Structure 1
Amino acid sequence: MRFKNKLLTTSLLVGTSMLATPAFAQAQQPVAGEDANQPAVTTQADPQVQEDQANVSTESEIVVTGTLIRNPNLVSSSPVNVVNESEITLRAPNNAEELIRRIPGVSPGIGSQVNNGSNGTNSVDLRGLGTQRNLVLLDGNRIVPTLANGVVDLNVIPVALISRVDVLTGGASTTYGADAVSGVVNFITNRSFSGIDARAAYKVTEQGDGQSHRVDLTMGGNFADDRGNAVLSFGYTKVEPVYQTRPFALFGISPTTGRASGSSATTTPTNINFGGATSYQQLNPGATAFVPYYEGFNFNPYNIFQTPLERKSAYGAVTYDVADGIEAYARGIFSQNEISSIIAPSGIFGNPLVVNADNPYLTPALRDQICTFNGIALGATCTGRTGSTATTGLPLPAVYRRLVELGPRIGNYKNTVYDARAGVLLDVTASTNLDLSVSYGKSEQINTNSGYVLNSRVQQALIATNTTTCTTNTFNCVPLNLFGVTGSITPAQVAFLQGEATIAITTQLQQARALYSGDIGFSAPWASNPVSFALGGEYRRYTYDRNPDARSQDPSELGGAGGATLPFTGGFNVKEAFAELIAPIASDRPFFDELTLEAGIRYSDYSIDAVGDPSFDTTTYKFGGTWQPVEGFRLRGNYQRAVRAPNIGELFAPVVTGLTSLSVDPCAGAAPTTNATLRDVCLAQGAPLGSIGNIPNPVAGQPNATGGGNPLLSPEKAKTFTVGAVVTPRNFLPGFSASLDYYNIKITDAITSPTPGDAIGACFNALSATNPACLSIRRNPVSGGLSGPTGTVRGLLLTTQNTGRLETSGFDLTVNYDRDLGPARLGLNFAGNYTKDLKFQSQPAGVNRDCVGFFSPNCGPSLGQLQPKYSFTQRTSLGFGAATLSLLWRHIGKMTYEGLADDYVARGFTAANRYLFVGTVTNQGPARSALAGNSYDFNRIDAYNYFDLNAQFDIERRFQFTIGVQNLFDKQPPIIGSPGTGTTSANSGNTFPSTYDPLGRSYSASVRVKF
């Protein structure tokens, strides 16, 4: 007989519940057509409560997050938070990421609220340590990643089949291998399904936008005299975009000046930086003359708060008892989804250009001004520059023009994922089995970027003597009117200038694993349960291939693409051996109602696909234990040495120049004119002499930065420690359970790049024109700024090295209570997190930033998302027969700007730039923000509280209807300005949309029919 046992309703004695609905749901009986042993709705996940609920469980393989050992009596020392099926039903998420990012202590990764900075996937960031440092599993197994960073796209997860989600935060490399430094997210599916389950869900905001539709159909049943079971599920999801047209977001508000403006240079009409005292000159609204720069470009209305998504998915699984003690199994996943990022129109971003003096769109007055700004004598010297080539005309040193006539830039990501797993489970003895499995996964992403201006054609279209034909008529060139009012670029000109680019990415993962587990057949003298073990070996092979087209590879071709995307191929394989042991030491003894120890070790041998065939090996291990001195009170602790091997992107990504986040450049403005040493440093970095005193801050808060992979990287090392207590006083307070756990994670030799603040601080905190940290920064040769064409302006140097250090610690608290109140049933569930610290030091000479409770472009090791000191969720539910009313309270602790930290000097702030804007928001030019006239302090965000209300009705046991109101009180997000308050991916629409709700009140409805 196969080694199986009853699968407890949630996390199988592995931890305490989180975001759970009250236990009264267990009273429901299965409907005809369902597995007769399967509860209709799962319940809370407290270990003692689970023991009491074993009578409503079903037979299936045991899936325990945090260990490879399969034993029905297992109690793990690692705390695991659980999101159960009924909570998933109440939330009705469009994808798994929407559910996970609301767990206290979890930082948002790339998700539906990340627009500018999206890579076409959804991801999770445990403890704020970076999306690349946690692992996503499906039923305890890896699935193929989508990109070079090794991160799994959460859109692949079949939401309709999820019975629970286990979130283990803390090192798990011993159990699952590298990538699990900060923990794992394990999605557990319904492994034994019988019947038909049809679901439909709909969401819409109160403004009438952001509609989402989700339908799922699952079919399953037994066959061959119940020797086999098969399940097949299909899903379709459609999500519409929400644009940044909410009143608080319609105009970008400068975080330093409080003015409603926008992009500081690339605007419309045309803006040209002639350098020297002249600096920026912008066409006036009538396009009759150049005047000093007066108006930025408001890009907010083009951007979105919710990215559009269309997903089609299929999932199939089958198990079959070939003979006694032999079970074959297989599962397959297909997912195809399209995500689009939508940002403001393309443009000309500081390109040096030339126009002939007799250009048909260049009036004599504008021509004479251009000559004057360039120091060219008027008259014959100026008008004589009427040559028909780009080398004999009038120079335009750095041109900025937002080409609104082209429409928005759209990055369309089409992801197709295939992942299949097959294996056989063999009973070796009555209490041990051997699991042999192989799997293959392939992910294909086609990224099409459209709406971009082709810079090479801009120059070609500026050399013309009439309005119909260019001097060089390649590609049927149409002369460009760069000197007209907004909207003067005609459709014919747009058709010539506009182009798209494509990047094709293929990722593959091959796996083979042998796992021998069970118990050894005897127990310690004082214990009643036997010693359990797991032994095995695993092989994994990762490959990655990126093929951009010629336009994507040219850093100077696509206007506003952020830099070149170069081709690269990389891969590695790893061979591993592992062992785990869980040993009950004592049970049913005075002061030792239960005592269990556990240990594990994993050895990994990596071979990297690179010249010289570099390789390295790692060893990870863990020790832990649980002690229950009396029934209802349990102590647990776990220590792990974890590792993370560098991913393919960190090893092989080509060095390129792109964009990063920085609001204030120390060389900007008048500062270099009064500080001779600063002046010398700015000049040494490539700023022209004439730009001193007029150097601009980075355009849109996004300076250029150069970085890439490093094939000489070695694995990170981490030490993780957890200790906690679980209380379940069922004898004197039935229905109550609580847990409190302390965690501490320290990562050394971390694979990191300097933050923009660190790169700036390494130079400007030790001013010297010969300081290597200063000379590594290279400036725009025309404007002297850090922005400009990525093909010629390197900007900041942000190299990838094993020099970082990360550390976080804190407490997790969960409390659950349910009881009868006469005709009603009350359920109270609380899950809270206190993050003591989250320190990030990108390099030994960099600032060791503790970013808990702070925000800035330099906070956070990955996306710069927020990590409040306090956060919690609390659900209160009342059940009345077949109806349940439930209120979810979400709390986000207060945040402050990083410049307000006590050690602000060490963090690179000065008295001048320590604060963001405080005062009354004003308009600039024709900008008319709804925020103008209101007073704000962009340096502080008060604690936030959101409330979601749901009602659920179970009708005739076959129909379940759920309605809900999210953000019940229509709480508006905090206003802190953008861009530049945080990183580009985190800070948008004057707020942090992944942390706070930018959509306002919204409504949801879902129906589930079961047969």
Structure 2
Amino acid sequence: MKSLSKREQLLATSMIAGFTMLTSAGIAQAQEQTEETTEVSQIVVTGSRIARQDYKSSSPIVTVDAQDIQATGSVTIDSLMNDLPQFTPSISSTSNNPSNGGQANLDLRSLTPKRTLVLVNGRRLVPSNSDGSADVNLIPAALIRNVETISGGASAAYGSDAIAGVANFILNDQFEGAQIDAQYGVTDRSDGTTQSYTMTVGGNFADDRGNAVISINRSTRDLIFNSAREFSAISGASGTTPMGSVVFDSTNLPDADVVRGYFGDSDLSLTGAFGFNNDGSIFSHAKALNFKPSDGIQYTGFYTPGSTYAFNTGALNYLSLPMERWNVYSSAKYTLNENVEFYGDALFNQYTASQELAATPAASTTGFRAPSTNPFIPADLKAFLDSRANPNSSFQLNKRFTDLGGRHAEYDYSVYQLTGGVRGQVPHSSWTYDLYAQYGRVSNIETQTGNVSRSAVQTLLDAADGGASICEGGFNPFGENAVSAECLNYIGRTSRTVTTVEQSVIEGTLQGKAFDLPAGEVLVAIGAQYRENGYEYASDPSLARINPKTPHLGADGLPDGGTIGGVEIAGFNAADSVNGSVNSIDLFGEALIPVLANLPFIQSLDLTLGYRYSDYSSIGGTQAYRADIDWEIVNGVRVRGGFNRAVRAPSIGELYSPAGVNFPAIGNASLTSGGGDPCDVTGMYRNGADKDKVRSLCLAQGISSAVIDTYTFENDQTNGWSGGNIDLEEETADTWSLGLVYQSQFQSPWFSRLSASLDYYSIEIENVISSISISDALSGCFNGTGENPNYDASNSYCQQFSRDPNNGNIIDAIENLDNLGVLKTSGVDLQVDWGIDLIDVGGPDWGTIGVNAVVGWLGSREDSVVAGGAMIDRMGTIADDFGNTFPEWKSLVSVSWAHGPFTATTRWRRVGEMTIYGSEDTLDATNYFDLSGSWNINDVVSVRGGVNNLLDQEPRTWNPGVQANTDPSTYDILGRRYFVGLTAKF
């Protein structure tokens, strides 16, 4: 059994000690919300396979309902879920780079979406990605009755992927009548318009023995550019510009006196980038020396005199992704007799979304080798080149292709999921059964424009006439020079990829009373499941060609010292096609055992045991199990908790994805943080206590002694390779929980509707499937975490990347998946509900006041890059990539008022203070306030409206941020916005 730390023991003891205070306040369980599913009013509890008469959740659970969803004014469900402390906002509608193509994924406990299982009516939603994560955009919001979230391992009940927990979307499958719903929203900047229109029709048939319902929805969301908001208009600093630049080979540098004399700077490094002004002169990116702004380049906002020049890539990126969606859901059921009920449902979804990135950058390994004979070389650059030891050698040329426009990706999704089954009472017994089959398919066609053929550009550069004989005007990369339509057509590429995900499930369950004990009935559920997941990615031939680096040939046809290669396309990341499937057979069982009852201080004591054995075609057999207690001390006072062993089998993408190109961020060198290249002389590593050891390691890795003391790296990205691993094993997680719940027994109008729950959780995942990021590799290699004290170039972290022999820059970062480190998180959730009728407490007859508060405290969030490595606690920090946001405190508080046909609700969303990971800079706590209301005009028509982010609170910003100088999923980036809606029921 896992031992608790002193801090955790103290916390657990304090929770038990707090029992007296809770009971004196009359606090009640907030989650006692139920779903009626059978004629005998049995309740299905999310997280359990056993239906029971008395809803008792032995795991932490939080529930939101349809009114909560409507109050957000959003057309996608993830907006509300991400406000809850249990969820960490991840890649969403405001995530342009990276993007999941407009998908909305849920991330419980900051353990990533692939570890959060999404259910619809207790059954798996078809995944939309190779990692197994599901897109909640597919769920028909108009039919959602409530969403129940179990946080913590639930693999024993539901199988793989439920390491972080389960989000169960319960739909209304008993609809009668007709309903029309319309909603419109817009920001107070008059952009980001959202619209949603839904028609739902349903009713009983065959003397009420059957029911059928169909709901059709169309929703849209307009795009917003970064340039539309002041905080993001200048963002995405990049050293790759439309003017082009040269990075001289460290083994063939120009004469230092020539270069430094040209700029009048005796300390200027020769290893940085040198750009081309439109008048033919040269400017240095370092210190922006001799930079001459061009009227044609509108987005050069990072330039300030004396600072490193960088190009503003972010202005025309999307701040909010556009979407157009059609959603159709239908369900039907028919009761033949008390023993047989047939049921089925069908989900159809078609939607389009898009992504916009800055114009294609070609740099470093995706850049070019320009021959010294190119006819467009300006005179000033020619003087630099001629001063080299080998003046006839080619040189590294980097360029951003703004003439082709931005890199645009259009995503076209077609989704359906079909379910059919039979359930009922086993004849002549109290047992029930449920047998169903389900098939789901997601198809995504992605069309990309703005890609550049590197071989075509290289052909133009190598041509004696600069390519003029190939396309009109040829290609002049030295400055911002217009490129003819013929040449753009010659170098530009449009690609098309197709991703298909399929899921088939056959499952049968049987449940009922096994026998009686003195304390009550022993209920048992047993079942079996067959599941198969298939994944196919058909890459465009232009994207799939991944070529080895080859020597560049000079004018004499012989290698001139440079190399070309890596990939054929610059623009969107290249990846080869992949096709694979994984199937599993699961056997599972669960037992609810009443241990004691009707004793002093033991009103009831129940034990729930669960076990699942899964046999995967990929990894073989795995086991998951659970043991939970539910102890009702006296009426209304409960202690709950237990242990769960959860597993997650590697997904198809994690197993079979071939190595593809990526461009991971490493940040910028700084004296106060460990970002950028550790060998950069302007950074923390080269100026710290071990600077001499760092210098020696840089030399050992291949940086030339001629530039080691002036070496700089001015980009914040490098190139790398990432892919799957067929030797992956399953992840395992141990989840502990301990909770205190009280349901008020007071008759006082002040306390009769006061309720609360307090739950501690601890999750530890081992054998974590992850990759060593280039940032972690650099930190480990240069002893940032104490794991290479001898600064040994053969250290395993140092083997995760290489250096370009021409200039010493980091290249070929290897980020392939493996079973690596450990991930731990723990904390406390508090939920409080309270309500009063004003007239009952001596006030006027002005209706009812209700309060709901959900507060999350994060006690720890630790991880190690590899097993046995240093554990790093990231609690209270935010990092420069999605899903790495760990505020110590996060809360959502709602206050509602209802009187007759009128309701009004105000919400307070709070994200706590966070430190930017790797620095000492802090982002203040952020508070958002929302206001909404509704009016039931009559029995048919109701209207609603609201204002979100009432005070127009801007997001917290830092450079570079996750995206657009902020984290657009954690913080509200749209500003104040309004919505109105109408519902008509017939």
TM-score normalised per structure 2: 0.84
* 526 and 502 in structure 1: CA distance in 2 versus 1, 3 angstrom threshold: same
Contact 1:352–1:397 (Cα < 8 Å) also in 2: no
* 348 and 199 in structure 1: CA distance in 2 versus 1, 3 angstrom threshold: same
Show the 5 A alignment for 1:596-675: 596-608=606-618, 615-663=619-667, 664-669=676-681
1:881 to 880, 895, 900: 900
Aligned to 1:114: 95
Show the 5 A alignment for 1:144-183: 144-183=126-165
2:248 to 274, 295, 304: 274
1:533 CA drift (Å): 1.4
- Is 1:751 the counterpart of 2:755 in the alignment? no
Show the 5 A alignment for 1:851-930: 851-857=874-880, 863-899=882-918, 914-915=919-920
* 356 and 776 in structure 1: CA distance in 2 versus 1, 3 angstrom threshold: closer
* 181 and 824 in structure 1: CA distance in 2 versus 1, 3 angstrom threshold: same
1:430 CA drift (Å): 4.6
2:803 to 771, 775, 779: 779
Gaps of 5+ in 2: 1-27, 257-269, 289-308, 547-565, 668-675, 839-844
Show the 5 A alignment for 1:753-832: 753-765=771-783, 766=788, 767-786=791-810, 793-795=811-813, 797-821=814-838, 822-832=845-855
1:465 CA drift (Å): 5.8
Contact 2:372–2:385 (Cα < 8 Å) also in 1: no
1:739 CA drift (Å): 0.7
TM-score normalised per structure 1: 0.82
Aligned to 1:839: 862
Aligned to 2:267: none
Aligned to 1:339: 353
Contact 1:347–1:401 (Cα < 8 Å) also in 2: yes
> Distance in 1 between the 2:489 and 2:496 partners?
18
- Is 1:702 the counterpart of 2:701 in the alignment? no
* 876 and 680 in structure 1: CA distance in 2 versus 1, 3 angstrom threshold: same
1:695 CA drift (Å): 3.8
Contact 1:45–1:82 (Cα < 8 Å) also in 2: no
1:463 CA drift (Å): 4.3
Contact 2:376–2:476 (Cα < 8 Å) also in 1: yes
1:712 to 705, 727, 750: 727
1:571 CA drift (Å): 1.7
> Distance in 1 between the 2:31 and 2:399 partners?
63
1:413 to 411, 420, 434: 411
- Is 1:537 the counterpart of 2:537 in the alignment? no
Contact 1:758–1:847 (Cα < 8 Å) also in 2: no
Q: Secondary structure at the match of 1:552?
A: helix
Write the letter of the residue equivalent to 2:781.
Answer: C
1:279 CA drift (Å): 3.4
> Distance in 2 between the 1:580 and 1:772 partners?
45
Q: Secondary structure at the match of 1:112?
A: coil
Cα offsets for 1:435-486 (capped at 9, x unmatched)? 111111111111222112221111122345668843xx4xx676112124x3
Cα offsets for 1:196-253 (capped at 9, x unmatched)? 1211111111111111111111111111121111111111111111111245434546
Range with bigger deviation, 654-663 or 583-592:
583-592
1:488 CA drift (Å): 2.1
Write the letter of the residue equivalent to 2:577.
Answer: P
> Distance in 2 between the 1:685 and 1:137 partners?
50
1:726 to 708, 720, 741: 741
Gaps of 5+ in 1: 1-43, 254-260, 378-393, 609-614, 787-792, 900-913, 916-938, 982-986
Contact 1:405–1:487 (Cα < 8 Å) also in 2: no
Show the 5 A alignment for 1:358-373: 361-363=376-378, 365-366=379-380, 368-369=382-383, 371-372=385-386
Cα offsets for 1:899-929 (capped at 9, x unmatched)? 3xxxxxxxxxxxxxx55xxxxxxxxxxxxxx
Contact 1:551–1:557 (Cα < 8 Å) also in 2: no
1:126 CA drift (Å): 0.4
1:539 CA drift (Å): 0.6
Q: Secondary structure at the match of 2:70?
A: helix
Cα offsets for 1:961-996 (capped at 9, x unmatched)? 111111100111112111xx4xxxxx1111111111
Aligned to 1:692: 708
2:957 to 968, 972, 975: 975
Write the letter of the residue equivalent to 1:444.
Answer: S
2:192 to 206, 210, 216: 210
Contact 1:762–1:845 (Cα < 8 Å) also in 2: no
* 446 and 698 in structure 1: CA distance in 2 versus 1, 3 angstrom threshold: farther
Write the letter of the residue equivalent to 1:532.
Answer: L
Write the letter of the residue equivalent to 1:221.
Answer: G
Aligned to 2:262: none
* 357 and 812 in structure 1: CA distance in 2 versus 1, 3 angstrom threshold: closer
1:308 CA drift (Å): 1.2
Show the 5 A alignment for 1:419-430: 419-428=417-426, 429-430=428-429
Aligned to 2:107: 125
Contact 2:410–2:447 (Cα < 8 Å) also in 1: yes
Range with bigger deviation, 127-136 or 277-286:
277-286
1:945 CA drift (Å): 0.8
> Distance in 2 between the 1:881 and 1:85 partners?
19
Write the letter of the residue equivalent to 1:547.
Answer: A
Cα offsets for 1:689-738 (capped at 9, x unmatched)? 55434444362x22223332111111111111111111121424211111
Contact 1:353–1:395 (Cα < 8 Å) also in 2: no
> Distance in 2 between the 1:1004 and 1:420 partners?
34
Aligned to 1:102: 83
- Is 1:192 the counterpart of 2:196 in the alignment? no
Aligned to 1:19: none
- Is 1:73 the counterpart of 2:54 in the alignment? yes
Contact 1:669–1:696 (Cα < 8 Å) also in 2: yes
- Is 1:594 the counterpart of 2:604 in the alignment? yes
Contact 2:241–2:400 (Cα < 8 Å) also in 1: yes
Cα offsets for 1:554-578 (capped at 9, x unmatched)? 3455654364211122221111111
Contact 2:593–2:607 (Cα < 8 Å) also in 1: yes
2:510 to 516, 519, 535: 516
Q: Secondary structure at the match of 1:758?
A: helix
1:568 to 552, 563, 578: 578
Aligned to 1:390: none
1:492 CA drift (Å): 3.4
Write the letter of the residue equivalent to 1:114.
Answer: S
Contact 1:397–1:782 (Cα < 8 Å) also in 2: no
Cα offsets for 1:340-374 (capped at 9, x unmatched)? 111111132235545567756445x2563353254
Aligned to 1:552: 543
* 231 and 698 in structure 1: CA distance in 2 versus 1, 3 angstrom threshold: farther
Identity %: 31
> Distance in 2 between the 1:779 and 1:687 partners?
8
Cα offsets for 1:907-959 (capped at 9, x unmatched)? xxxxxxx55xxxxxxxxxxxxxxxxxxxxxxx111111110011111110222
* 367 and 111 in structure 1: CA distance in 2 versus 1, 3 angstrom threshold: closer
> Distance in 2 between the 1:669 and 1:719 partners?
44
Write the letter of the residue equivalent to 1:638.
Answer: G
Contact 1:641–1:718 (Cα < 8 Å) also in 2: yes
> Distance in 2 between the 1:239 and 1:843 partners?
42
2:697 to 681, 690, 693: 681
> Distance in 1 between the 2:363 and 2:654 partners?
29
1:86 CA drift (Å): 1.0
Contact 1:404–1:487 (Cα < 8 Å) also in 2: no
